[in-house]
Amino acid sequence: MKILWKKGAAAVLVFVMLLSGCGSGSSADSKTLSDGSSSGKTSSASASEEFHDTSGSIAPVGEEYMTSIEVSKNADGVTQAVRYVFAMDTEMMLEAFGENAEAAVEAASEEVLRIDQLLSVGIGTSDICRLNQEGTAEVSEDARELICRGLEVGESVDGAFDITVYPLMEAWGFTSGTYRVPEEAEIAELLSKMGADKVTVDGNTVRLAEGTKIDLGGIAKGYTSGRLMEIFASYGVDAALVSLGGNVQTYGKKTNGENWKIAIQDPEKSGKYLGVLSCHDLAVITSGGYERYFEEDGTTYHHILDPANGRPANAGLRSVTVVSQDGTLADALSTSLYVLGPEKAAAYWREHPGDFGCILEKDDGTLLVTENLADSFTTERTMEVIK
């Protein structure tokens, strides 16, 4: 068996480029990519462009889970504060600009850790772990809200997103690293214990059917980035950007008044990009089967499971990027649309065009971009617009 797990830093392969004086029509392939270190130094010099690999480069050492906050002045003379954190099983970057940037980043760091303690399936005292172990539990408002959102999105995409998928993830070994291909009978048994009807929410009391377990990993980082935007607003920062394992969300515009430029990496070609998105005040979240997978007997099995059959989704998409003001929605839909495939994903967007936009890469490399993103997404590839 060959194990290929691109953890944390490469989980979604979305990079943010902090450009000064660079037009949106410039080539993504020519960008200088930083080494992801807290210094932010680029791997090659460029007079007009500075790039940051927002996936970060730190890993936990003993009890250490975050770097110190680095404070400096950016090119516009504005105070800049940045910290790298390891939480939710991934590397994160938190960055803010303005008079209260350092305090805002400190508060954002604390919020990341607080939510992780509530929602992680790997922390024995978390709401979700207790619920999975006991079948019934009183949960926090954060957990209740996220469970309800997960069920809501799942219903809207006809079950393509399912928070009760956790037992299947365990069976495939994606939770432990002990990878295996389950027998069909085992998959069928686990599928019988999945579904929104196996979860009951009554106030803050949540009940699961026997044998049912939930995992909010497909939606938690999007929820967290949304909470961080609220914190940045409360501290009155000028601008901010977070990358939670590559899930990017921006607050305001850059301090020079320009949009953020977010390059979406080509999962098949290291250092190459599908294109560059110009945006502000949006979450940009990507999912794909290249994130975590293993090979057995010449067949590749990735971690995005189709709740309809319990096997890795195979609907014709290589990657899905969802762009929305709602980080929680973007996180859930990036997985959902990958499971649905290009035709159903496009149909779903046509029903909800005001909620999000998306960039779909098909298995043959074709790019499909929704009409509401077409003017802000630049690519050297042939691009088909979904209308």
Whole-number pLDDT of residue 296: 92
Q: What is the mean pLDDT of residues 280-295?
A: 91
> Which among 92, 107, 38, 103 is positioned nearest to 60, based on CA atoms?
92
Whole-number pLDDT of residue 226: 98
pTM given for the model:
0.86
For residue 50, pLDDT over 90 is answered with no
CATH fold of 2-118+219-386 reads T-fold (3.10.520)
For residue 292, pLDDT over 90 is answered with no
Task: Return the percentage of the chain with pLDDT > 70, whole number.
Answer: 83
Q: What is the mean pLDDT of residues 55-67?
A: 49
For residue 11, pLDDT over 50 is answered with no
Structure tokens at 258: 């320009």
Q: What is the mean pLDDT of residues 298-323?
A: 96
pLDDT tens profile 84-139 = 999 998 899 999 999 999 999 999 999 999 999 999 999 999 999 999 999 999 99
pLDDT band at 180, cuts 50/70/90? very high
Residues in the chain: 387
Structure tokens at 57: 């480069």
- Alpha carbon distances (Å) from 259 to 12, 142, 254: 21, 31, 6
pLDDT band at 3, cuts 50/70/90? very low
Whole-number pLDDT of residue 291: 74
Whole-number pLDDT of residue 10: 33
Whole-number pLDDT of residue 376: 97
Whole-number pLDDT of residue 159: 97
For residue 60, pLDDT over 90 is answered with no
Q: What residues are paired with 19 via a beta bridge?
A: 49
Q: What residues are paired with 288 via a beta bridge?
A: 319
Whole-number pLDDT of residue 111: 97
> Which among 172, 218, 216 is positioned nearest to 311, based on CA atoms?
172
Whole-number pLDDT of residue 65: 76
Q: Is 158 left (phi over 0), alpha (psi -120 to 50) or beta?
A: left
For 372, other C-beta atoms within 10 Å of its C-beta total 17
For residue 288, pLDDT over 70 is answered with yes
Whole-number pLDDT of residue 63: 36
Whole-number pLDDT of residue 270: 75
Cα(358)–Cα(315) distance, integer angstroms: 16
Whole-number pLDDT of residue 66: 86
The structural domains of the chain, with segments of one domain joined by +, span 2-118+219-386
Highest mean predicted confidence (pLDDT) among 21-30, 46-55, 149-158, 262-271: 149-158
Contacts 24+ apart (CB under 8 A), 311-316: 311/187, 313/289, 313/338, 313/339, 315/339, 315/340, 315/341, 315/342, 315/344, 316/341, 316/342, 316/362, 316/363
pLDDT band at 265, cuts 50/70/90? confident
Whole-number pLDDT of residue 333: 98
Task: Return the percentage of the chain with pLDDT > 90, whole number.
Answer: 77
For residue 53, pLDDT over 70 is answered with no
Q: What is the mean pLDDT of residues 282-300?
A: 90
Angle at 316 between CA 149 and CA 373, to 5 degrees: 60
Q: What is the mean pLDDT of residues 234-239?
A: 98
For residue 244, pLDDT over 50 is answered with yes
Whole-number pLDDT of residue 269: 79
Q: What is the mean pLDDT of residues 317-325?
A: 97
For residue 20, pLDDT over 90 is answered with no
pLDDT band at 2, cuts 50/70/90? very low
For residue 32, pLDDT over 70 is answered with no
